[in-house]
Structure 1
Protein backbone atom coordinates (compact mmCIF):
# COMPACT_ATOMS: atom_id res chain seq x y z
CA UNK A 1 0.00 0.00 0.00
CA UNK A 2 2.85 2.37 0.87
CA UNK A 3 4.54 1.71 -2.48
CA UNK A 4 1.29 2.43 -4.29
CA UNK A 5 0.95 5.76 -2.50
CA UNK A 6 4.54 6.63 -3.40
CA UNK A 7 3.87 5.89 -7.08
CA UNK A 8 0.71 8.00 -7.01
CA UNK A 9 2.60 10.89 -5.44
CA UNK A 10 5.41 10.54 -8.01
CA UNK A 11 2.94 10.51 -10.92
CA UNK A 12 1.19 13.56 -9.51
CA UNK A 13 4.50 15.41 -9.25
CA UNK A 14 5.39 14.50 -12.84
CA UNK A 15 2.00 15.72 -14.05
CA UNK A 16 2.36 19.00 -12.16
CA UNK A 17 5.86 19.48 -13.58
CA UNK A 18 4.62 18.82 -17.12
CA UNK A 19 1.82 21.34 -16.69
CA UNK A 20 4.30 23.85 -15.35
CA UNK A 21 6.58 23.39 -18.35
CA UNK A 22 3.64 23.76 -20.73
CA UNK A 23 2.59 26.95 -18.99
CA UNK A 24 6.12 28.31 -19.42
CA UNK A 25 6.24 27.54 -23.15
CA UNK A 26 5.80 30.84 -24.99
CA UNK A 27 2.90 30.93 -27.47
CA UNK A 28 3.73 30.92 -31.18
CA UNK A 29 4.06 34.48 -32.48
CA UNK A 30 0.97 35.74 -34.29
CA UNK A 31 0.97 35.07 -38.04
CA UNK A 32 1.99 38.23 -39.83
CA UNK A 33 4.30 39.44 -37.07
CA UNK A 34 8.01 40.03 -37.64
CA UNK A 35 8.73 36.80 -35.75
CA UNK A 36 6.23 34.82 -37.85
CA UNK A 37 5.87 36.46 -41.27
CA UNK A 38 3.33 35.40 -43.86
CA UNK A 39 5.27 33.55 -46.56
CA UNK A 40 3.94 33.68 -50.11
CA UNK A 41 5.45 31.19 -52.56
CA UNK A 42 5.78 32.28 -56.20
CA UNK A 43 6.27 29.63 -58.90
CA UNK A 44 9.51 30.01 -60.91
CA UNK A 45 7.89 30.55 -64.31
CA UNK A 46 10.98 32.50 -65.39
CA UNK A 47 14.49 33.03 -64.02
CA UNK A 48 14.21 32.60 -60.23
CA UNK A 49 16.14 35.78 -59.38
CA UNK A 50 13.92 37.82 -61.69
CA UNK A 51 10.76 36.32 -60.18
CA UNK A 52 12.04 36.94 -56.64
CA UNK A 53 12.80 40.59 -57.33
CA UNK A 54 9.30 41.20 -58.70
CA UNK A 55 7.66 39.10 -55.98
CA UNK A 56 9.48 41.01 -53.25
CA UNK A 57 8.24 44.29 -54.71
CA UNK A 58 4.70 42.89 -54.43
CA UNK A 59 5.04 41.64 -50.86
CA UNK A 60 6.52 44.99 -49.81
CA UNK A 61 3.34 46.71 -51.03
CA UNK A 62 1.14 44.05 -49.39
CA UNK A 63 2.96 44.54 -46.09
CA UNK A 64 2.44 48.28 -46.27
CA UNK A 65 -1.27 47.93 -47.03
CA UNK A 66 -2.07 45.24 -44.45
CA UNK A 67 0.30 46.08 -41.61
CA UNK A 68 1.42 42.44 -41.73
CA UNK A 69 4.95 41.24 -42.26
CA UNK A 70 4.82 39.41 -45.60
CA UNK A 71 7.77 37.78 -47.34
CA UNK A 72 8.22 36.26 -50.81
CA UNK A 73 9.98 33.03 -51.65
CA UNK A 74 10.65 31.36 -55.00
CA UNK A 75 11.12 27.57 -54.75
CA UNK A 76 13.30 25.71 -57.22
CA UNK A 77 10.40 24.16 -59.16
CA UNK A 78 6.63 24.03 -59.48
CA UNK A 79 6.62 20.84 -57.38
CA UNK A 80 8.64 22.59 -54.69
CA UNK A 81 5.99 25.33 -54.64
CA UNK A 82 3.35 22.71 -53.86
CA UNK A 83 5.54 21.17 -51.18
CA UNK A 84 6.10 24.58 -49.58
CA UNK A 85 2.32 24.96 -49.24
CA UNK A 86 1.85 21.44 -47.93
CA UNK A 87 4.71 21.23 -45.43
CA UNK A 88 4.09 24.56 -43.75
CA UNK A 89 6.92 26.53 -45.33
CA UNK A 90 4.45 28.82 -47.15
CA UNK A 91 1.08 30.19 -46.09
CA UNK A 92 -0.01 31.30 -49.55
CA UNK A 93 1.07 30.72 -53.11
CA UNK A 94 0.92 32.21 -56.55
CA UNK A 95 0.33 28.76 -58.01
CA UNK A 96 -0.10 27.88 -61.65
CA UNK A 97 -3.28 26.02 -62.60
CA UNK A 98 -2.08 22.42 -62.39
CA UNK A 99 -0.04 23.01 -59.22
CA UNK A 100 -3.13 24.50 -57.60
CA UNK A 101 -5.31 21.52 -58.53
CA UNK A 102 -2.73 19.11 -57.09
CA UNK A 103 -2.22 21.19 -53.92
CA UNK A 104 -5.97 21.47 -53.39
CA UNK A 105 -6.36 17.71 -53.80
CA UNK A 106 -3.79 17.33 -51.03
CA UNK A 107 -5.75 19.70 -48.80
CA UNK A 108 -3.02 22.35 -48.86
CA UNK A 109 -4.54 25.16 -50.93
CA UNK A 110 -7.81 27.00 -51.44
CA UNK A 111 -8.00 29.51 -54.27
CA UNK A 112 -8.92 33.12 -53.46
CA UNK A 113 -8.01 35.03 -56.62
CA UNK A 114 -7.49 34.24 -60.28
CA UNK A 115 -5.27 36.36 -62.49
CA UNK A 116 -6.60 38.32 -65.46
CA UNK A 117 -4.67 38.68 -68.71
CA UNK A 118 -5.99 40.37 -71.84
CA UNK A 119 -9.31 40.85 -70.05
CA UNK A 120 -9.81 37.12 -69.43
CA UNK A 121 -9.39 34.71 -66.48
CA UNK A 122 -8.31 32.01 -68.96
CA UNK A 123 -5.38 31.59 -71.31
CA UNK A 124 -4.07 29.13 -73.90
CA UNK A 125 -0.91 27.16 -74.46
CA UNK A 126 1.07 26.73 -77.65
CA UNK A 127 3.51 24.24 -79.12
CA UNK A 128 6.34 25.94 -80.98
CA UNK A 129 9.19 24.98 -83.29
CA UNK A 130 11.64 26.65 -85.63
CA UNK A 131 10.18 27.61 -88.99
CA UNK A 132 12.95 25.63 -90.70
CA UNK A 133 12.56 22.49 -88.55
CA UNK A 134 10.27 20.61 -90.93
CA UNK A 135 7.83 20.04 -88.04
CA UNK A 136 4.31 21.05 -89.03
CA UNK A 137 2.10 18.80 -86.89
CA UNK A 138 2.09 17.02 -83.55
CA UNK A 139 2.73 13.71 -85.32
CA UNK A 140 6.06 15.12 -86.50
CA UNK A 141 7.26 15.36 -82.88
CA UNK A 142 8.11 11.64 -82.75
CA UNK A 143 11.84 11.21 -82.30
CA UNK A 144 12.36 14.93 -81.59
CA UNK A 145 13.73 16.77 -78.57
CA UNK A 146 11.11 18.73 -76.66
CA UNK A 147 11.59 21.61 -74.22
CA UNK A 148 9.18 22.32 -71.38
CA UNK A 149 9.25 24.95 -68.61
CA UNK A 150 8.67 22.41 -65.83
CA UNK A 151 7.08 18.99 -65.40
CA UNK A 152 4.12 20.63 -63.60
CA UNK A 153 3.63 23.48 -66.09
CA UNK A 154 0.00 23.45 -67.22
CA UNK A 155 0.46 25.00 -70.66
CA UNK A 156 4.07 23.89 -71.01
CA UNK A 157 3.66 20.16 -70.34
CA UNK A 158 0.37 18.85 -68.92
CA UNK A 159 -1.86 20.10 -71.75
CA UNK A 160 0.74 19.46 -74.52
CA UNK A 161 1.10 15.88 -73.25
CA UNK A 162 -2.65 15.41 -73.60
CA UNK A 163 -2.57 16.86 -77.12
CA UNK A 164 0.34 14.65 -78.15
CA UNK A 165 -1.38 11.51 -76.90
CA UNK A 166 -4.52 12.46 -78.83
CA UNK A 167 -2.33 12.72 -81.95
CA UNK A 168 -0.78 9.29 -81.35
CA UNK A 169 2.48 10.54 -79.84
CA UNK A 170 3.43 9.13 -76.43
CA UNK A 171 5.33 11.95 -74.70
CA UNK A 172 6.95 9.47 -72.31
CA UNK A 173 8.31 7.15 -74.99
CA UNK A 174 8.13 8.70 -78.46
CA UNK A 175 10.15 11.87 -77.85
CA UNK A 176 13.92 11.63 -78.18
CA UNK A 177 14.43 13.75 -75.06
CA UNK A 178 12.43 16.06 -72.80
CA UNK A 179 14.41 19.02 -71.47
CA UNK A 180 13.42 21.32 -68.61
CA UNK A 181 14.31 24.79 -69.89
CA UNK A 182 13.76 26.66 -66.64
CA UNK A 183 10.68 28.65 -67.58
CA UNK A 184 8.58 29.66 -70.58
CA UNK A 185 11.10 32.23 -71.77
CA UNK A 186 13.79 29.57 -71.56
CA UNK A 187 11.74 27.32 -73.85
CA UNK A 188 11.43 30.05 -76.47
CA UNK A 189 15.16 30.75 -76.36
CA UNK A 190 16.02 27.03 -76.57
CA UNK A 191 13.81 26.53 -79.64
CA UNK A 192 15.11 29.73 -81.24
CA UNK A 193 18.72 28.59 -80.70
CA UNK A 194 18.00 25.09 -82.00
CA UNK A 195 18.75 23.43 -78.66
CA UNK A 196 15.31 21.81 -78.84
CA UNK A 197 13.34 20.76 -81.90
CA UNK A 198 10.09 21.94 -80.32
CA UNK A 199 8.64 23.12 -77.05
CA UNK A 200 5.54 24.37 -75.28
CA UNK A 201 4.69 27.65 -73.54
CA UNK A 202 1.76 29.90 -72.78
CA UNK A 203 0.47 32.14 -75.59
CA UNK A 204 2.47 34.12 -76.46
CA UNK A 205 5.73 33.70 -74.56
CA UNK A 206 7.65 34.81 -77.64
CA UNK A 207 6.80 38.40 -76.71
CA UNK A 208 9.00 38.03 -73.61
CA UNK A 209 12.12 37.92 -75.79
CA UNK A 210 10.97 40.13 -78.69
CA UNK A 211 13.23 42.99 -77.62
CA UNK A 212 16.23 40.67 -77.31
CA UNK A 213 15.34 38.63 -80.43
CA UNK A 214 13.44 40.93 -82.83
CA UNK A 215 12.91 38.18 -85.41
CA UNK A 216 11.60 35.62 -82.90
CA UNK A 217 8.10 35.47 -84.44
CA UNK A 218 9.61 34.65 -87.83
CA UNK A 219 12.13 32.11 -86.56
CA UNK A 220 9.85 30.42 -83.99
CA UNK A 221 6.38 29.44 -85.21
CA UNK A 222 3.29 27.96 -83.56
CA UNK A 223 2.02 24.57 -84.73
CA UNK A 224 -0.68 23.96 -82.11
CA UNK A 225 -2.77 26.05 -79.71
CA UNK A 226 -4.66 24.61 -76.74
CA UNK A 227 -8.26 25.17 -75.63
CA UNK A 228 -8.75 27.80 -72.88
CA UNK A 229 -7.13 27.03 -69.52
CA UNK A 230 -8.05 28.74 -66.21
CA UNK A 231 -5.41 31.27 -65.22
CA UNK A 232 -3.03 30.97 -62.28
CA UNK A 233 -4.07 31.66 -58.71
CA UNK A 234 -3.45 33.33 -55.43
CA UNK A 235 -4.21 30.52 -53.01
CA UNK A 236 -4.02 30.11 -49.24
CA UNK A 237 -3.41 27.19 -46.92
CA UNK A 238 -6.71 26.32 -45.19
CA UNK A 239 -5.14 26.97 -41.77
CA UNK A 240 -4.45 30.65 -42.50
CA UNK A 241 -6.80 32.72 -40.30
CA UNK A 242 -9.67 34.30 -42.22
CA UNK A 243 -8.73 37.82 -41.12
CA UNK A 244 -5.18 37.40 -42.46
CA UNK A 245 -6.40 35.88 -45.72
CA UNK A 246 -9.04 38.60 -46.22
CA UNK A 247 -6.56 41.39 -45.52
CA UNK A 248 -4.11 40.05 -48.11
CA UNK A 249 -6.84 39.43 -50.69
CA UNK A 250 -8.14 42.98 -50.26
CA UNK A 251 -4.60 44.33 -50.60
CA UNK A 252 -4.04 42.38 -53.82
CA UNK A 253 -7.31 43.74 -55.24
CA UNK A 254 -6.29 47.27 -54.25
CA UNK A 255 -3.01 46.79 -56.11
CA UNK A 256 -4.87 45.58 -59.19
CA UNK A 257 -7.07 48.69 -59.18
CA UNK A 258 -4.16 51.12 -58.82
CA UNK A 259 -2.36 51.88 -62.09
CA UNK A 260 1.07 52.32 -60.51
CA UNK A 261 0.78 49.21 -58.34
CA UNK A 262 -0.75 47.16 -61.14
CA UNK A 263 2.49 47.70 -63.05
CA UNK A 264 4.27 45.73 -60.29
CA UNK A 265 1.87 42.81 -60.79
CA UNK A 266 2.33 42.99 -64.56
CA UNK A 267 6.09 42.89 -64.13
CA UNK A 268 5.87 39.55 -62.34
CA UNK A 269 3.49 37.31 -64.31
CA UNK A 270 1.97 39.79 -66.81
CA UNK A 271 -1.13 40.06 -64.61
CA UNK A 272 -3.50 42.76 -65.83
CA UNK A 273 -5.91 42.27 -62.94
CA UNK A 274 -7.25 39.88 -60.30
CA UNK A 275 -10.72 38.51 -59.57
CA UNK A 276 -12.21 36.60 -56.66
CA UNK A 277 -13.12 32.99 -57.46
CA UNK A 278 -13.70 29.78 -55.54
CA UNK A 279 -12.50 26.26 -56.22
CA UNK A 280 -15.42 25.45 -58.54
CA UNK A 281 -13.83 27.74 -61.14
CA UNK A 282 -11.31 24.94 -61.78
CA UNK A 283 -13.86 22.11 -62.10
CA UNK A 284 -13.95 22.39 -65.90
CA UNK A 285 -10.18 21.97 -66.01
CA UNK A 286 -10.44 18.93 -63.74
CA UNK A 287 -13.05 17.43 -66.04
CA UNK A 288 -10.77 17.99 -69.03
CA UNK A 289 -7.93 16.20 -67.23
CA UNK A 290 -10.21 13.33 -66.25
CA UNK A 291 -11.60 12.96 -69.77
CA UNK A 292 -8.04 12.77 -71.07
CA UNK A 293 -7.10 10.05 -68.58
CA UNK A 294 -4.95 12.28 -66.37
CA UNK A 295 -5.32 11.22 -62.73
CA UNK A 296 -4.29 14.10 -60.47
CA UNK A 297 -3.75 11.72 -57.56
CA UNK A 298 -0.81 10.13 -59.38
CA UNK A 299 1.02 13.44 -59.00
CA UNK A 300 0.55 13.42 -55.23
CA UNK A 301 3.48 12.22 -53.14
CA UNK A 302 2.43 10.83 -49.79
Structure 2
Protein backbone atom coordinates (compact mmCIF):
# COMPACT_ATOMS: atom_id res chain seq x y z
CA UNK A 1 0.00 0.00 0.00
CA UNK A 2 1.39 3.37 -1.06
CA UNK A 3 1.78 5.87 1.76
CA UNK A 4 0.03 9.20 1.16
CA UNK A 5 2.27 12.12 0.26
CA UNK A 6 3.38 14.02 3.35
CA UNK A 7 5.03 17.44 2.89
CA UNK A 8 6.55 17.19 6.38
CA UNK A 9 8.02 13.75 5.72
CA UNK A 10 9.36 14.93 2.36
CA UNK A 11 10.99 17.92 4.05
CA UNK A 12 12.57 15.69 6.69
CA UNK A 13 13.98 13.37 4.01
CA UNK A 14 15.32 16.34 2.05
CA UNK A 15 16.98 17.80 5.13
CA UNK A 16 18.48 14.43 6.05
CA UNK A 17 19.86 14.07 2.52
CA UNK A 18 21.29 17.56 2.63
CA UNK A 19 22.93 16.86 6.00
CA UNK A 20 24.55 13.71 4.64
CA UNK A 21 25.75 15.57 1.58
CA UNK A 22 27.21 18.36 3.70
CA UNK A 23 28.91 15.86 6.00
CA UNK A 24 30.43 14.13 2.99
CA UNK A 25 31.55 17.45 1.54
CA UNK A 26 33.07 18.53 4.87
CA UNK A 27 34.94 15.24 5.09
CA UNK A 28 36.18 15.61 1.53
CA UNK A 29 37.31 19.18 2.21
CA UNK A 30 38.88 18.44 5.62
CA UNK A 31 42.41 19.80 5.80
CA UNK A 32 44.95 18.86 8.45
CA UNK A 33 46.88 22.07 9.08
CA UNK A 34 50.38 22.22 10.48
CA UNK A 35 52.65 25.13 11.30
CA UNK A 36 56.12 25.76 12.69
CA UNK A 37 57.88 28.48 14.63
CA UNK A 38 59.67 30.71 12.09
CA UNK A 39 63.19 30.00 13.37
CA UNK A 40 64.61 29.96 9.85
CA UNK A 41 63.85 31.79 6.62
CA UNK A 42 60.38 31.24 5.07
CA UNK A 43 61.89 29.54 2.01
CA UNK A 44 63.84 27.09 4.17
CA UNK A 45 60.78 26.27 6.28
CA UNK A 46 58.72 25.63 3.14
CA UNK A 47 61.48 23.43 1.68
CA UNK A 48 61.63 21.36 4.87
CA UNK A 49 57.84 21.03 5.06
CA UNK A 50 57.08 19.94 1.48
CA UNK A 51 58.03 16.22 1.61
CA UNK A 52 56.69 15.89 5.17
CA UNK A 53 53.31 17.25 4.06
CA UNK A 54 53.18 14.71 1.22
CA UNK A 55 54.12 11.86 3.58
CA UNK A 56 51.52 12.81 6.20
CA UNK A 57 48.82 13.02 3.53
CA UNK A 58 49.52 9.37 2.66
CA UNK A 59 49.60 8.26 6.30
CA UNK A 60 46.58 10.24 7.52
CA UNK A 61 44.46 9.85 4.41
CA UNK A 62 43.58 13.52 4.26
CA UNK A 63 44.86 16.74 2.73
CA UNK A 64 47.69 18.28 4.76
CA UNK A 65 48.61 21.93 4.52
CA UNK A 66 51.62 23.80 5.90
CA UNK A 67 50.50 27.20 7.20
CA UNK A 68 53.39 29.61 7.87
CA UNK A 69 53.11 32.16 10.66
CA UNK A 70 54.68 35.58 11.06
CA UNK A 71 56.32 35.07 14.45
CA UNK A 72 56.65 32.76 17.45
CA UNK A 73 53.66 34.26 19.25
CA UNK A 74 51.46 33.53 16.23
CA UNK A 75 52.54 29.88 16.31
CA UNK A 76 51.49 29.69 19.96
CA UNK A 77 48.11 31.33 19.30
CA UNK A 78 47.41 29.21 16.21
CA UNK A 79 47.43 25.93 18.15
CA UNK A 80 45.93 27.31 21.37
CA UNK A 81 42.96 28.59 19.32
CA UNK A 82 42.84 25.41 17.18
CA UNK A 83 43.49 27.32 13.95
CA UNK A 84 46.01 24.57 13.15
CA UNK A 85 46.03 20.90 14.11
CA UNK A 86 49.73 20.50 14.87
CA UNK A 87 52.72 22.76 15.46
CA UNK A 88 56.49 22.39 15.47
CA UNK A 89 57.62 24.10 18.66
CA UNK A 90 60.82 24.74 20.50
CA UNK A 91 60.78 23.79 24.17
CA UNK A 92 59.99 27.36 25.23
CA UNK A 93 57.17 27.87 22.72
CA UNK A 94 55.69 24.55 23.89
CA UNK A 95 55.73 25.89 27.46
CA UNK A 96 54.14 29.15 26.27
CA UNK A 97 51.46 27.24 24.35
CA UNK A 98 50.76 25.07 27.39
CA UNK A 99 50.29 28.15 29.58
CA UNK A 100 48.27 30.00 26.93
CA UNK A 101 45.91 27.04 26.40
CA UNK A 102 45.50 26.21 30.08
CA UNK A 103 47.48 22.99 29.71
CA UNK A 104 45.52 21.81 26.68
CA UNK A 105 48.41 20.96 24.36
CA UNK A 106 50.22 17.63 24.08
CA UNK A 107 53.74 17.07 22.73
CA UNK A 108 53.75 13.89 20.64
CA UNK A 109 57.23 13.32 19.24
CA UNK A 110 60.66 14.90 19.14
CA UNK A 111 63.82 14.17 17.21
CA UNK A 112 66.29 11.93 19.02
CA UNK A 113 68.62 14.95 18.91
CA UNK A 114 66.14 16.99 20.96
CA UNK A 115 66.79 14.89 24.07
CA UNK A 116 70.24 16.47 24.31
CA UNK A 117 70.01 19.69 22.34
CA UNK A 118 72.57 22.48 22.58
CA UNK A 119 73.15 26.09 21.61
CA UNK A 120 76.38 27.69 20.47
CA UNK A 121 77.83 31.16 20.89
CA UNK A 122 79.77 32.33 17.82
CA UNK A 123 82.03 35.29 17.08
CA UNK A 124 84.26 36.64 14.31
CA UNK A 125 86.29 38.68 16.78
CA UNK A 126 89.56 36.83 17.59
CA UNK A 127 89.68 38.59 20.96
CA UNK A 128 86.45 36.86 22.04
CA UNK A 129 87.26 33.35 23.22
CA UNK A 130 84.85 32.76 26.11
CA UNK A 131 81.56 33.94 27.60
CA UNK A 132 83.47 36.29 29.91
CA UNK A 133 84.88 38.07 26.85
CA UNK A 134 81.33 39.06 25.82
CA UNK A 135 81.14 41.74 28.51
CA UNK A 136 80.90 45.17 26.90
CA UNK A 137 80.14 43.65 23.46
CA UNK A 138 77.12 43.67 21.15
CA UNK A 139 75.48 40.25 21.14
CA UNK A 140 72.60 38.92 19.06
CA UNK A 141 70.06 36.34 20.10
CA UNK A 142 67.48 34.92 17.66
CA UNK A 143 63.80 35.50 18.36
CA UNK A 144 62.84 36.48 21.91
CA UNK A 145 60.70 33.33 22.27
CA UNK A 146 63.38 31.03 20.84
CA UNK A 147 64.52 28.24 23.15
CA UNK A 148 67.90 27.60 21.56
CA UNK A 149 68.40 31.12 20.21
CA UNK A 150 67.54 33.08 23.35
CA UNK A 151 66.11 31.42 26.48
CA UNK A 152 68.75 28.74 27.08
CA UNK A 153 71.73 30.87 25.99
CA UNK A 154 70.47 33.61 28.35
CA UNK A 155 69.98 31.03 31.12
CA UNK A 156 73.56 29.74 30.80
CA UNK A 157 74.91 33.30 30.71
CA UNK A 158 73.08 34.07 33.97
CA UNK A 159 74.53 30.88 35.49
CA UNK A 160 77.98 32.23 34.52
CA UNK A 161 77.17 35.47 36.40
CA UNK A 162 76.75 37.42 33.16
CA UNK A 163 73.56 39.47 32.82
CA UNK A 164 73.01 40.32 29.12
CA UNK A 165 70.90 43.38 29.95
CA UNK A 166 73.58 44.84 32.21
CA UNK A 167 76.88 43.40 30.98
CA UNK A 168 76.51 43.64 27.19
CA UNK A 169 76.96 46.89 25.30
CA UNK A 170 73.82 46.06 23.33
CA UNK A 171 71.44 43.11 23.01
CA UNK A 172 70.02 42.49 19.52
CA UNK A 173 67.36 40.06 18.30
CA UNK A 174 67.84 38.79 14.75
CA UNK A 175 64.55 36.85 14.61
CA UNK A 176 66.05 33.60 13.30
CA UNK A 177 69.13 31.39 13.64
CA UNK A 178 70.39 31.92 10.08
CA UNK A 179 69.98 35.68 10.53
CA UNK A 180 72.15 35.52 13.66
CA UNK A 181 74.95 33.86 11.67
CA UNK A 182 74.65 36.57 9.01
CA UNK A 183 74.79 39.34 11.63
CA UNK A 184 77.96 37.92 13.20
CA UNK A 185 79.63 37.19 9.85
CA UNK A 186 78.93 40.72 8.56
CA UNK A 187 80.21 42.38 11.72
CA UNK A 188 76.84 43.89 12.68
CA UNK A 189 77.31 42.33 16.11
CA UNK A 190 80.35 41.04 17.98
CA UNK A 191 78.80 37.67 18.80
CA UNK A 192 75.60 35.67 18.60
CA UNK A 193 73.82 32.67 20.09
CA UNK A 194 71.94 30.08 18.06
CA UNK A 195 70.69 26.54 17.56
CA UNK A 196 73.60 24.08 17.15
CA UNK A 197 71.93 22.13 14.34
CA UNK A 198 71.52 25.24 12.16
CA UNK A 199 75.16 26.13 12.80
CA UNK A 200 76.31 22.62 11.85
CA UNK A 201 74.15 22.71 8.71
CA UNK A 202 75.73 26.03 7.65
CA UNK A 203 79.20 24.61 8.27
CA UNK A 204 78.43 21.41 6.32
CA UNK A 205 77.02 23.41 3.40
CA UNK A 206 80.01 25.80 3.51
CA UNK A 207 77.67 28.79 3.97
CA UNK A 208 79.88 30.29 6.66
CA UNK A 209 83.62 30.99 6.71
CA UNK A 210 84.79 29.00 9.74
CA UNK A 211 88.27 30.53 9.41
CA UNK A 212 86.63 33.77 10.59
CA UNK A 213 83.47 32.83 12.46
CA UNK A 214 84.11 30.40 15.29
CA UNK A 215 82.23 28.75 18.13
CA UNK A 216 83.40 30.22 21.44
CA UNK A 217 81.04 28.28 23.73
CA UNK A 218 78.71 25.29 23.48
CA UNK A 219 76.01 25.02 26.15
CA UNK A 220 75.19 21.95 28.23
CA UNK A 221 72.37 19.78 26.88
CA UNK A 222 68.64 20.37 27.33
CA UNK A 223 65.33 19.15 25.85
CA UNK A 224 64.10 21.17 22.89
CA UNK A 225 61.89 20.88 19.78
CA UNK A 226 58.74 18.76 19.42
CA UNK A 227 55.58 18.28 17.35
CA UNK A 228 52.59 19.28 19.48
CA UNK A 229 48.81 18.90 19.07
CA UNK A 230 45.78 20.21 20.97
CA UNK A 231 44.52 17.87 23.69
CA UNK A 232 41.00 18.01 22.19
CA UNK A 233 42.30 15.89 19.30
CA UNK A 234 40.94 12.31 19.62
CA UNK A 235 43.46 9.83 21.05
CA UNK A 236 43.22 7.61 17.96
CA UNK A 237 44.21 10.53 15.73
CA UNK A 238 47.13 11.38 18.00
CA UNK A 239 48.36 7.80 17.88
CA UNK A 240 48.10 7.77 14.09
CA UNK A 241 50.18 10.94 13.79
CA UNK A 242 52.79 9.75 16.28
CA UNK A 243 53.12 6.43 14.45
CA UNK A 244 53.67 8.24 11.15
CA UNK A 245 56.67 10.05 12.65
CA UNK A 246 58.00 7.01 14.52
CA UNK A 247 57.84 4.95 11.30
CA UNK A 248 60.15 7.33 9.44
CA UNK A 249 63.34 5.48 8.61
CA UNK A 250 66.54 6.42 6.76
CA UNK A 251 66.30 2.97 5.16
CA UNK A 252 63.61 4.26 2.75
CA UNK A 253 64.19 7.06 0.18
CA UNK A 254 61.16 8.93 1.54
CA UNK A 255 62.23 8.63 5.15
CA UNK A 256 65.82 9.50 4.35
CA UNK A 257 64.77 12.75 2.64
CA UNK A 258 62.37 13.84 5.38
CA UNK A 259 64.75 13.01 8.24
CA UNK A 260 67.63 14.80 6.51
CA UNK A 261 65.54 17.94 6.02
CA UNK A 262 64.34 17.79 9.63
CA UNK A 263 67.98 17.27 10.71
CA UNK A 264 66.94 14.12 12.57
CA UNK A 265 68.31 10.60 12.87
CA UNK A 266 64.83 9.47 13.93
CA UNK A 267 61.75 10.60 15.85
CA UNK A 268 60.97 9.32 19.34
CA UNK A 269 58.01 9.77 21.73
CA UNK A 270 58.08 12.71 24.14
CA UNK A 271 56.00 14.05 27.03
CA UNK A 272 55.19 17.35 28.71
CA UNK A 273 57.34 16.62 31.77
CA UNK A 274 60.47 16.75 29.58
CA UNK A 275 60.02 20.52 29.29
CA UNK A 276 59.73 21.35 33.00
CA UNK A 277 63.40 22.36 32.97
CA UNK A 278 62.68 24.82 30.16
CA UNK A 279 59.83 26.35 32.16
CA UNK A 280 62.07 26.66 35.22
CA UNK A 281 64.78 28.36 33.14
CA UNK A 282 62.20 30.75 31.63
CA UNK A 283 60.88 31.75 35.04
CA UNK A 284 64.42 32.20 36.42
CA UNK A 285 65.33 34.39 33.44
CA UNK A 286 62.18 36.48 33.94
CA UNK A 287 60.73 35.47 30.56
CA UNK A 288 57.63 33.95 32.22
CA UNK A 289 56.06 35.84 35.08
Task: Give TM-score scaled by structure 1 length.
Answer: 0.78
- Are 1:124 and 1:226, in contact at CA under 8 Å, matched by a contact in 2? yes
How far off is 1:99 after superposition? 0.7
1:99 aligns to what? 93
Name 1:17's counterpart in structure 2.
none
- 1:240 and 2:233 are equivalent in the alignment: yes
C-alpha separation between the residues in 2 aligned to 1:70 and 1:141? 45
3-state SS in 2 of match to 1:227: coil
Distance 2:207 2:80 in 1: 42
For residues 203-240 of structure 1, give each alpha carbon's deviation from its aligned partner in whole angstroms, at most 9, with x where no partner exists: 25333223664763221222222111113101111111
Once the two structures are overlaid, the 10-residue window that deviates more, 93-102 or 103-112, is 103-112
Distance change (3 Å), C-alpha of 1:46 and 1:33: farther
1:244-263 mapped onto 2 (5 Å cutoff): 244-256=237-249, 258-263=251-256
SS in 1 for 2:183: helix
Select the residue among 159, 162, 171 that pairs with 1:178. 171
Shift of the alpha carbon at 1:252?
A: 1.6
Deviations 1:245-282 (A, max 9, x none): 22221112222465322333334331221011221222
Q: Which stretch of the first structure deviates more once superposed, 94-103 or 160-169?
A: 160-169
Does 2:47 align with 1:53? yes
Q: Deviations along 1:28-78, whole A, 9 cap, x unmatched? A: 969x94433111111222111221232132011111122122211221222
Among 110, 133, 137, the alignment partner of 1:114 is 110
Contact 1:129–1:197 (CA<8 Å) still a contact in 2?
Answer: yes
2:172 matched to 1:150? no
Q: Is 1:125–1:225's contact at 8 Å kept on the other side of the alignment?
A: yes
Q: Gaps spanning 5+ residues in structure 1: where?
A: 1-22
What does residue 187 of structure 1 align with? Answer: 180
Please give the secondary structure, in 1, of the residue aligned with 2:164.
coil
Matched, 1:67 2:67: no
Against the structure 1 CA distance between its residues 168 and 268, is the aligned structure 2 distance closer, same or farther, given a 3 Å change threshold?
Answer: same
1:130-145 aligned within 5 A:
130-132=124-126, 134-145=127-138
Distance in 1 (CA, whole Å) between partners of 2:163 and 2:17 is 60
